[in-house]
Amino acid sequence: MATRLSPVLNRIDSTLDDAVARLLDLLAIPSISTDPAYKADCARAADWLVADLATIGVKAETIATPGHPMVMGHVDGPAGQDTPHLVFYGHYDVQPVDPLSLWNNDPFAPAVEATAKGKVIRGRGSSDDKGQLMTFVEACRAWVAEHGQLPCEITFFFEGEEESGSPSLVPFMKEYKDRLKGDVALICDTGLFGHDTPAIVTMLRGLMGEEIVIKAADKDLHSGMYGGPAQNPIRVLTRILAGLHDDQGRVTLDGFYDGVPELPADVAAQWEALGFDHEAFLGEVDLNLPAGEKDRSALEMIWSRPTMEFNGITGGYTGDGFKTVLPAQASAKVSARLVGTQDPHKIRESLRAYVEANLPADCTVEFHPHGASPASVMETSHPAFEAARNALSDEWPNEAAFVGCGGSIPIAGYFKKIVGVDALLAGFGRDDDAIHSPNEKYDLECFHKGIRSWARILDAVSTQTKG
Ligand code: BES
Ligand code: ZN
């Protein structure tokens, strides 16, 4: 129904500057969920969203959790019409900014910047996920401004712990199941496929995060006095970590590949047809040769194979200059991306058992868990998928594709498992957005077309029948 959509799209175009100003305001709040020092800022971001939703007529509240607050808002659909109930999810927390020295500007002094490739919104969270979250809110704002109300019943659900493994999410969703039970869930936390191809993500990898701390002597020691007879936790840790992969790039852990399926032939053929440019993908970050499992393509490795990666490692003296020290402890943050029915808890147990079995005398180990979410595969038969695919294809130069995603969004599978609702993942990030990295950006074009995309999806999906 182009007649009710066109004025919304026109309004989005003519008010883009205001939408950007609001996003910059939200981006200025350093809502880093993993670092307790930013707890108050996370609460401030949640409050900001509640206040912003109020400006478009959505009654919203923050709901406390053992971690950071959830934001929930709701509006009824037009009276007397049997419209579907949509549940929209995004996350307001962001990743830490370190290494700060690699940022060209303060990560929380966001700005629109002109670059050789066009205008970008620069700042931590611009793409992951505040900018994306706001594409939906801005589409709703334009709709309300034009039509006085939203086209269907909508529940807004924003999380503040996604970047730290969503520890409060499962109990929360169980408790608030009734409020989250829409006809379909919409998630905006993924990217485009290529520069101009919109994408609906149908498979996401899961994640198991674990911190391993190995301790030996009761204090740091002089390496000349004790080096040799005393255990060195860095040597112990690196030997243990090195044993986790074989020379074919496979993970050696007992039972690691239990539940890892081979890619069905039809999915393999569909991915092949996407024409993914492996060389360009690595070339963009100054790499040439694929690492990882020797017999797998890069796309397969990212979308449908599990990995075990080391995200951080510390121990001993890492300051300027040099210190001949034998450290008392060393630690590593390790994460596994999971596919199929791999069980994050079993893999954690297997990792712990392997570390303990390889620990020499005089060393102790502590483990700290950081999230466990299984992989998820979306059911795409709900008519909202076809409607959204067409709506996205109308907005972007290329047709929308169904794709996989190497990243993890814990809620993606929980919507189906806990609430019984299919989740439709559409997002507008680009590969060069530098999410989780220094100088994160969101292309102004993606923000703009992302808002327009949601307006089109709202138009198409809100006229579908309930259920
Ligand atoms: N937006 C990302 C997920 C994503 C990553 C989408 C890459 C598209 C491409 C999300 O915010 C994220 O980073 N998730 C974490 C979750 C983890 C901490 C449980 C991830 O994947 O590391
Ligand atoms: Zn992220």
256-312 pLDDT tens trace: 999 999 999 998 898 989 999 989 999 999 999 999 999 898 999 999 999 999 999
Residue scoring higher pLDDT (298 or 245): 245
Could you tell me if residue 290 is inside a domain?
A: no
Pocket test residue of 31, 128, 159, 348 for ligand 1, highest count of atoms within 8 A of CB: 128
Q: Which residues contact 433 (CB under 8 A, 6 or more apart)?
A: 126, 127, 128, 191, 440, 441, 442, 443
Residue at a domain's end among 344, 373, 402: 373
CA–CA separation, 461 and 387 (whole Å):
6
Based on the domain organization, do 52 and 73 belong to the same domain? Answer: yes
Based on the domain organization, do 106 and 166 belong to the same domain? Answer: yes
- Token digits for 118? 């066009």
For residue 436, report the distance from its CA to the centre of ligand 2, in Å: 6
Residue at a domain's end among 320, 340, 373: 373
pLDDT per position as a tens digit, 171-182: 999 999 999 999
The Cβ-side half-sphere exposure at 269, using a 13 Å CA radius, reads 3
Our answer on whether the CB atom of 405 is closer than 6 Å to any ligand 1 atom is yes
Could you tell me if residue 236 is inside a domain?
A: yes
Could you tell me if residue 54 is inside a domain?
A: yes
For residue 129, report the distance from its CA to the centre of ligand 1, in Å: 9
DSSP-derived 3-state class of residue 418 = helix
Instruction: Give the chain's radius of gyration (CA, Å).
Output: 23
Task: Tell me how far CA of residue 424 lies from CA of 10, 39, 164, 247, in angstroms.
Answer: 26, 30, 22, 38
Q: What is the DSSP string of 289-323?
A: S--S-TTS-HHHHHHHS-EEEEEEEEES--SSS--
In the DSSP assignment, the letter for residue 162 is G
For residue 407, report the distance from its CA to the centre of ligand 1, in Å: 5
Atom of ligand 1 nearest to the CA of 429: 8
The residue whose C-alpha atom lies closest to atom 3 belonging to ligand 1 is 407
Our answer on whether the CB atom of 162 is closer than 6 Å to any ligand 1 atom is yes
- The structural domain count of the chain equals 2
Element (H, E) at 445: helix 444-462
pLDDT per position as a tens digit, 116-135: 999 999 999 999 999 999 99
pLDDT per position as a tens digit, 296-353: 989 999 999 999 999 999 999 999 999 999 999 999 999 999 999 999 999 999 999 9
Our answer on whether the CB atom of 410 is closer than 6 Å to any ligand 1 atom is yes
Question: CATH code at 334?
Answer: 3.30.70.360
Our answer on whether the CB atom of 207 is closer than 6 Å to any ligand 1 atom is yes
Based on the domain organization, do 86 and 132 belong to the same domain? Answer: yes
Based on the domain organization, do 388 and 408 belong to the same domain? Answer: yes
CA–CA separation, 35 and 42 (whole Å):
10
CA–CA separation, 15 and 5 (whole Å):
16
Based on the domain organization, do 217 and 348 belong to the same domain? Answer: yes
Phi and psi at residue 24, to the nearest 5°: -60, -40
Could you tell me if residue 165 is inside a domain?
A: yes
At residue 300, the pLDDT reads 93
Based on the domain organization, do 198 and 218 belong to the same domain? Answer: no
Mean pLDDT of 375-400: 97
Based on the domain organization, do 45 and 182 belong to the same domain? Answer: yes
Based on the domain organization, do 138 and 218 belong to the same domain? Answer: no
Based on the domain organization, do 117 and 200 belong to the same domain? Answer: yes
Confidence band of 385 (pLDDT split at 50, 70, 90): very high
Residue whose C-alpha is closest to residue 147's, from 54, 15, 56: 56
CA–CA separation, 210 and 66 (whole Å):
20
pTM of the predicted model, to two decimals? 0.93
Element (H, E) at 149: none
Based on the domain organization, do 326 and 430 belong to the same domain? Answer: no
At residue 466, the pLDDT reads 77
Our answer on whether the CB atom of 409 is closer than 6 Å to any ligand 1 atom is yes
DSSP-derived 3-state class of residue 186 = strand
Based on the domain organization, do 392 and 423 belong to the same domain? Answer: yes
Could you tell me if residue 279 is inside a domain?
A: no
DSSP E strand stretches across 149-235: 153-159, 184-187, 199-204, 206-215, 221-222
CA–CA separation, 148 and 142 (whole Å):
10
Cis peptide bond prior to 99, omega within 30° of 0: yes
Residue 148 CA, chain-centre distance (Å), reads 33
Based on the domain organization, do 136 and 158 belong to the same domain? Answer: yes
Q: What percent of the chain has pLDDT over 70?
A: 99
Residue at a domain's end among 331, 351, 373: 373
Could you tell me if residue 281 is inside a domain?
A: no
The residue whose C-alpha atom lies closest to atom 19 belonging to ligand 1 is 165
Average pLDDT in the chain: 96
Could you tell me if residue 268 is inside a domain?
A: no
The residue whose C-alpha atom lies closest to atom 10 belonging to ligand 1 is 409
The residue whose C-alpha atom lies closest to atom 5 belonging to ligand 1 is 407
- Which range of residues forms the domain containing residue 311? 206-260+306-373
Our answer on whether the CB atom of 210 is closer than 6 Å to any ligand 1 atom is no
Pocket test residue of 124, 373, 408, 414 for ligand 1, highest count of atoms within 8 A of CB: 408
Question: CATH code at 449?
Answer: 3.40.630.10
Strands 325-326 and 307-315: what pairing?
unpaired
CA–CA separation, 202 and 376 (whole Å):
8
Could you tell me if residue 272 is inside a domain?
A: no
